[in-house]
Structure 1
Amino acid sequence: MNGLDGKVAVVTGAASGIGAATAALLAARGARVVVTDIDDDRAMAVAASLGDRAVHLHADVTREDDVAAAVGAAVTHFGRLDAMINNAGRVGNWTYVADTSAEDWDSAFAVLARSAFFGTKHASRVMRDQGSGTIVNVSSVAGVRTGFGPHPYGAAKAAVLALTRSAARELAEFGIRVNAVTPGGVATRIVGSGAGLDGDDLDASVETVRRGLASFQPVPRAGEGEDIAGAIGYLVSDDASFVTGQNMIVDGGLTLGKAWPRNYRAEADAAARRE
């Protein structure tokens, strides 16, 4: 894969899971990274593991000033911004629509959709002046099919996809590409929390999620943060220079539905008849 050496990226929600894996992949392929999250201890550890290729910045993505500051940090520390990865997220409460509170709805849109808007808005300002840049919004299979997340979560993730398309159409003439990545079942702390597996050790819940997902989708294993990071790495690279406004679904076939069970006796009988 070409086109990452020397690039500068901001990754939100980079303290763990997909965000941490993305920061690590981009740095390993030559990019410099601003690692942002509200979990400062974990985010600082991620940044420290990447050495002088990364800096940490506290950022609450529901606050526009924090997102603007993250974009500004890329320019201040590294001189430019080539890739904005709007990844921060949460799952929220699973409830019937009749029991969903306005607070849960607003919180989901603030963390998931409004944050992507803030990232796109402020990154595009820098990128327009440069005449180049890429923005990747992390959505979810819950945004393309029902049943994979709470109502507010699915609606907010669908809004992220709509924003991706409209921003891509507007910004293409400025040399800015905007795409989305849609993960399926990925073994992360956020998924564990959304499944109600917090307990005293959220990291332990990741293993529970990993085992459960192995039998839940056509590719018989859980998705990992690195699987999604690889797709993001492609989209921000020069290899994807002609790709914009697209939604790359990386879900182990989850959205294909369950496979038909094979009937081996029927197959054997059919083969015998053909002989």
Structure 2
Amino acid sequence: MRREVVVDGHRFHIHLEGEEGPLGVESSTGAYVHLARWRLEDHLWALDRFVRFAGRGMEFDHDGFSRALLRRSGVPEELFEELAPIALWWAVGAGSVEAPGSSPEGWVRTGAVQAWLRSWTFAERSKALEASLTLYSDGVRHFSLERYLSTMLTTCVVALEPSDRPWRELDGASATALLDAVVTLNTSGDCEEDRLLEEGNPGIRALARTLLRLCRALGWTPSRVWATPASEIHRLLALLDAVEADAPPAAPHPEGLAAHPDAVVIQVEER
């Protein structure tokens, strides 16, 4: 099926060659090239190489990313600059059609598939971070985004429907939608208040101490504290102030050898 699309101000004539086929593109020189299906495992590989961490943010090398797709598809290098926009368009699944219908409760529609997802635990995330970090002898650390995201997907994608393809083989809109859904699921707890706590100024540090005090006293998570009405928080803090003011001072802890559990302490007092 021949179509005309405009991407970033550039007009392209493309041919969609079936759900599992490549994308045919007509170049301005008359050359006809095919762009290979861009699967989720390819997407992670490219992200690992063309996303760079800068301060608290990230930088994306879109030129390098598009060239990787074109090179993998066997496109002549002299066409890279012209076809870069359509390559990025193809990589994010803009040419895919989402399957109609709604998802059953608990399932998330991600492109042409449905996914049953779960959040990963703090322990699982910590293990993934450790496994994704490589420390070299010169002190330089390398973080593998591909390994980290791959572990996140393996952990958090409980099931896919249809189940005939693993998540690594999804492509187009299904691949990018699934990745976006899993990352959003595991970062949706981030809020503006948490970002403020990272600034570290004196006023924010006082707020952090109050937050930690409430969490310790009530066994709550920070998210629950943030979501509680302000009036209730003030009442809770007043109750904590009253109870803690009446609490007896903690007994001093012995020091040195006297702190040993098997120690016998002999106290001699003068009369």
TM over 0.5: no
Q: Tell me the TM-score range normalised by the shorter chain.
A: under 0.3
Q: Which structure's CA Rg is the greater one?
A: 2
Q: TM-score, normalised by structure 1?
A: 0.23
Q: TM-score, normalised by structure 2?
A: 0.24
Higher RCO (CA < 8 A, seq sep 6+): 1
Instruction: Give the structure with the larger strand fraction.
Output: 2
Instruction: Give the structure with the larger helix fraction.
Output: 1
